[in-house]
Structure 1
Amino acid sequence: MKIYYANASLTKNDIRGRSVHIRQFTNHSLQLGHEIWMNQATDHPGIQYIPSDRLQRLKLFRKMDVIYVRLQGKITGACKYTTLPYRLLFGNPINVWEFNTYPILSFSKKLTEAQKQQKLNRFRELGRHCDLAVCVSEKLSEFVQEHLSIKNTIVIPNGSDPVLFDPDLYKNSVLENVNSEQFNVLWMGSAELSWNDFDQLVNVVRILNKRGYEKHIAFHVIGSIDLDIKDIPPNIFCHGKIQYENLPQWLAKMDLGLIVYKPGSADYNSPLKLFDYLSSEMAVVSNEQPQVREVLSKINAEDLICAYGDSEEMANKIESLVNQPERVRRLGDQGRKLVINYYNWERAVRKTYDQILEIKNNQGGFLWKTNSNL
C-alpha cells in the first residue's frame, strides 16, 4: 500500500521518543512491502517525498491507499483530509489517526476554557469521519471514543526492539561511572517535562543513602536534568542525552529501571522506556501508571508499583530488590521474553496494518453515501 505518513519527520540527531516511534513504524512498514511518503526531509533512505507542486500532489494523493496522521496532541493540517471535498478529491483513502498523548495536553495554558472547548469541538468535528484511531493505551482509547467521537479504535501499545536491545551483545563493554560490583539503577527522561517527577527520584536516593546504601547503589540518569539542583547526592551520575542506537550498551549494564511519573497526562501514555528496560533484562520499579501496571502484572511484578509520590515506598521496593538478586535475574528473563513474544515493534506495526487491511477489504474509506449526517 501507499501510505502518506503525515506530521512525521526523521532527523539523525533527534533522540525524542516520537523519533523512535516514527523510525520503527517506517522501518517495519517498508519491511512489509509498503511505501512511506512524507512531506519533510529525513535521513531515511527508504522514504519518498510528497512533491511541492499542488497538481502533482493531488495526482499522488489520488493514488494513496492510506492517509496516516501521527498526532502528538494537537490538530494538524492533514486532519482535515477526513472531510469533504478532500475525500472525493483524493479518491476516498482510508484515514487513520495515531494518538500518542493526551490531546488536551497540547492546548496552551493561556487559552480560556471556552477556547479549549472550541479546539476540542474542532477535533471532534474532524475525528467523527476518521476510519480508524490507533491508540497507544486503553485510557487514551477511552478518551478518543468518548470525547472525540471516533468509535473505531484499536489499542496498540509501544514496544522495544529485542534485537537492538539484547544485553548479551554488550557483556564485555566498559562504561564510565558504571561499576558492575554495584547495584545499578537507571532513570531515562527529561526532568523539565511536567509529567516527570525527578524530585521524587532524588528523595528516594537520599532515603537509601541514609540507610547506608550510598556505596552500594549507583543511580544513573540519561536525559536532560537541571544540574544546579542543590545537594544532589554523590551517587547520582548524570550522563546527559545519548543517541538511541547507543542506549542498549548502557541498559545492558543496569539492574533496575525506574519510572517516576506524576499523576495526570502520563496516565494516557505508553512509556517507551518500560519496554526498552524489559528488553534489556532489567527489573522495573514504577509509580502508578495504568499501562505499566498492566505489563508488570504479566510477570507477577505488580508489587513493584508504588503510590504516586511515595518516596519511602519506592525506596523500600528498591532495597528489597537489592537484597533479592535472584528475583532481579528472574524478572529480567521474564521481561525480555515478554518483549520478544509481544511488546515489540514488529508486532505493533503488523497489527496496525492488519486492522487497516481489514477496513480496506471490507469497505475502503468512510462510506459517505450512506451517512445521513453529511
Structure 2
Amino acid sequence: MNIGYITYPINYPPKAGGAIHSFYLTRELAALGHKVLFLGFTDIPHLNQFSTNIEGGKRFVCESDVLYVRIDGWYRNEKYSRLKDACPELPVVWEINAPLDELMLSGYSKRFYQAKHKTRVELASYVSLAICVSDEMQEYAQSELGISNTVVIPNGAVLSIDSENGNKNVAEDLRPYHDKFKVLWAGSPRYPWQGIQTILNVAKKIAYRDRNYCFIIVGDISQTKLGNIPDNVVLIDEMDHFSLSQYVMAADVCLCIYNDYPFRKFFFSPLKLFDYMARGKAVIASNKGQIAQVIKHGVNGLLVDSEEEIIACLRDLQINRNALELLGNNAKNDVIRYYNWRRVAEETCDSLLPLVKHETERKIDLLKLQTIWNVLEKDFEKRQGKIKYLKRLVNKIRTVIS
C-alpha cells in the first residue's frame, strides 16, 4: 500500500510531539512493507520524497493509494483534502489528534477560531475515515465534524531508542544530583493545560519536608515564564527524543500531570505517558481521560487528583523501592503487549486497507489539480522558508558555541 502522508516537516532526530508521532508511525508503516510518500524535503530514509511542484504533486497523487492527513491543533493540513477534487477515487483519511480551540489558548481570537473551525467542518466532507487518538477525539470527529466512519487508535512508544544519536550529556548534567530521588517531567510548559505549575508547587512543598528530592523539568523553558523556581528543581531546555530518553532512564519516577482543559473534556493521548512506561518507569499521572484508561492505579502506575496526592505518592515510592520497580515493570509489559508503535501501525493499516481500490489507472483532472496546487504551493513556500530559517539559526548557534 502506498500511503500519501501529509504532515508538517519531520525533523531528525524528532523533537516536538507531532514530529515524534509522525516519525515512529511512518517508520513502522515502512517496516510493515508499505511505502510512505512525503511531499517536500526530508532526510528521513524511510520516507519517499516528492517535489512540491506540480509535477511532483501529480506523481504524489497518482502513486498514493490513500491520502493520510495529520490533523492537530493547527489549521494548515486540512486543505490537502481538496486533492480529492482532482482525483475522486482517492480516499482521504484524517488522523485526528486535537481540535482547533487550542488556537484561542495561543492568542488567536474566537472569531478566528470559528472561521477555521468552519473550514475544517467543510473539508471533513472529503473524509472517508477518521483515525482518532482517543475516545474524546472520536466524539469530536462524529459530533462536531460530521464524520461517521471513525476508529480509535491510541498512541504508543518504542521499546528501544537510538539514544546514541542524542546530543546531550546526561551524566554531566545530573552528576550533582546522583544521590537524590529524581522526579522527571517533560513537555511544553507554555501550554496552559500542562501541569507545570502544579509540579513546581509540589517541589516547593516537598523541599520543606525532605531535601533528598530532585525535580528535573525538561521543556521549552526559554518560552515560558515560570516565576520563582525552588532550589530542588533542575530546568533543562527541550531536546530531541533520543536525548530525552536518556534523562527518562536516569529518573526514579516520572510525572504525567495535566490541568483541566478549558474548552472540553481531556482529549489527549499523551506520548510522554507511553514513553515513561516503555522505559520501565513508575508513573504518577493525572486521573483524566485516556490516562485513566491506560493507568490502573497501583498496578502499572498511580493516579492522582491533587498536589497532596502527588506528594504522598512520591514519598511512598521513595520508601518502597519494590513498589517502584513493580509499577515500572508492569508499565513496560503493557507497552510490549499493546501500547507500542508497531501496534499503532498495524491497526492503522487494518483500517486503511478496506478503503484502497486497486484500479489499473487512476483518473486525475489535471486542470483541477493545477488550480489546487497553486494554493498549496504557497503553503509549501512558508514551510520550506521556516525550515531554512531554523537551519540558519542552528548553524548560527553552533558557530557561537564553537
Which residue number corresponds to residue 203 of structure 1? 201
Question: Residues 47-73 of structure 1: CA distance to partner in whole angstroms, max 9, x if unpaired?
Answer: 223334425523541332010101123
The question of 1:321 aligning with 2:332 is answered: no
Give structure 2 stretches of 5+ with no counterpart: 164-169, 360-402
The change in CA–CA distance for 1:233 and 1:48 in structure 2 (over 3 A counts) is: same
* Matching residue's letter, 1:203: N
What's the CA shift for 1:296? 0.7
Which residue number corresponds to residue 133 of structure 1? 130
Question: Residues 132-188 of structure 1: CA distance to partner in whole angstroms, max 9, x if unpaired?
Answer: 11111111111111110111111111111012289xxxxxx8453254543211000
* Matching residue's letter, 1:207: K
Question: Quick check: 1:5–1:67 contact (8 Å CA) kept in 2?
Answer: yes
> Is the deviation greater in 16-25 or in 247-256?
247-256
Which residue number corresponds to residue 297 of structure 1? 296
Describe the SS at the equivalent of 2:229: coil
What's the CA shift for 1:238? 1.6
Describe the SS at the equivalent of 2:295: helix
- Whole-Å separation in 2 of the counterparts to 1:344 and 1:326: 25
The change in CA–CA distance for 1:305 and 1:222 in structure 2 (over 3 A counts) is: same
Which residue number corresponds to residue 104 of structure 1? 101
The change in CA–CA distance for 1:238 and 1:123 in structure 2 (over 3 A counts) is: same
Which residue number corresponds to residue 378 of structure 2? none
Q: TM-score, normalised by structure 2?
A: 0.79
Question: Residues 250-271 of structure 1: CA distance to partner in whole angstroms, max 9, x if unpaired?
Answer: 2122111112211016821111
What's the CA shift for 1:14? 5.0
Which residue number corresponds to residue 376 of structure 2? none
Which residue number corresponds to residue 281 of structure 1? 280
What's the CA shift for 1:317? 1.8
Which residue number corresponds to residue 348 of structure 1? 344
Query: What fraction of aligned residue pairs are identical, expressed as a percent?
Result: 26
The question of 1:7 aligning with 2:7 is answered: yes
Question: Quick check: 1:69–1:79 contact (8 Å CA) kept in 2?
Answer: no
Superposed counterparts of 1:17-28, under 5 Å: 17-28=17-28
* Matching residue's letter, 2:219: G
What's the CA shift for 1:298? 7.7
What's the CA shift for 1:8? 3.1
- Whole-Å separation in 2 of the counterparts to 1:56 and 1:200: 48
Question: Quick check: 2:134–2:154 contact (8 Å CA) kept in 1?
Answer: yes
- Whole-Å separation in 1 of the counterparts to 2:15 and 2:194: 17
The change in CA–CA distance for 1:24 and 1:90 in structure 2 (over 3 A counts) is: same
Question: Residues 276-317 of structure 1: CA distance to partner in whole angstroms, max 9, x if unpaired?
Answer: 111111111122321111111286357x2222xx32222122
Which residue number corresponds to residue 264 of structure 1? 261
The change in CA–CA distance for 1:199 and 1:299 in structure 2 (over 3 A counts) is: closer
| RMSD between superposed Cα atoms in Å | 2.7
- Whole-Å separation in 1 of the counterparts to 2:351 and 2:124: 18
- Whole-Å separation in 1 of the counterparts to 2:77 and 2:335: 35
The change in CA–CA distance for 1:325 and 1:357 in structure 2 (over 3 A counts) is: same
The change in CA–CA distance for 1:88 and 1:190 in structure 2 (over 3 A counts) is: closer
- Whole-Å separation in 2 of the counterparts to 1:241 and 1:53: 34
Question: Quick check: 1:165–1:280 contact (8 Å CA) kept in 2?
Answer: no
* Matching residue's letter, 1:248: S
Question: Quick check: 1:175–1:250 contact (8 Å CA) kept in 2?
Answer: no
Query: Which of 225, 243, 247 lines up with 1:246 in the alignment?
Result: 243
- Whole-Å separation in 2 of the counterparts to 1:78 and 1:112: 19
The change in CA–CA distance for 1:315 and 1:38 in structure 2 (over 3 A counts) is: same
Question: Residues 174-213 of structure 1: CA distance to partner in whole angstroms, max 9, x if unpaired?
Answer: 45325454321100012222221222111101111222x1
Superposed counterparts of 1:65-104, under 5 Å: 65-76=65-76, 79=79, 81=81, 86-87=83-84, 89-90=86-87, 92-104=89-101
- Whole-Å separation in 2 of the counterparts to 1:300 and 1:46: 37
Question: Quick check: 1:188–1:221 contact (8 Å CA) kept in 2?
Answer: yes
Give structure 1 stretches of 5+ with no counterpart: 167-172, 364-374
Question: Quick check: 2:277–2:283 contact (8 Å CA) kept in 1?
Answer: yes
The change in CA–CA distance for 1:357 and 1:67 in structure 2 (over 3 A counts) is: same
Which residue number corresponds to residue 333 of structure 1? 329
The change in CA–CA distance for 1:37 and 1:324 in structure 2 (over 3 A counts) is: same
Which residue number corresponds to residue 311 of structure 1? 307
Which residue number corresponds to residue 158 of structure 1? 155
- Whole-Å separation in 2 of the counterparts to 1:176 and 1:296: 30
Higher helix share: 2
- Whole-Å separation in 2 of the counterparts to 1:244 and 1:295: 22
* Matching residue's letter, 1:67: L
Q: TM-score, normalised by structure 1?
A: 0.84
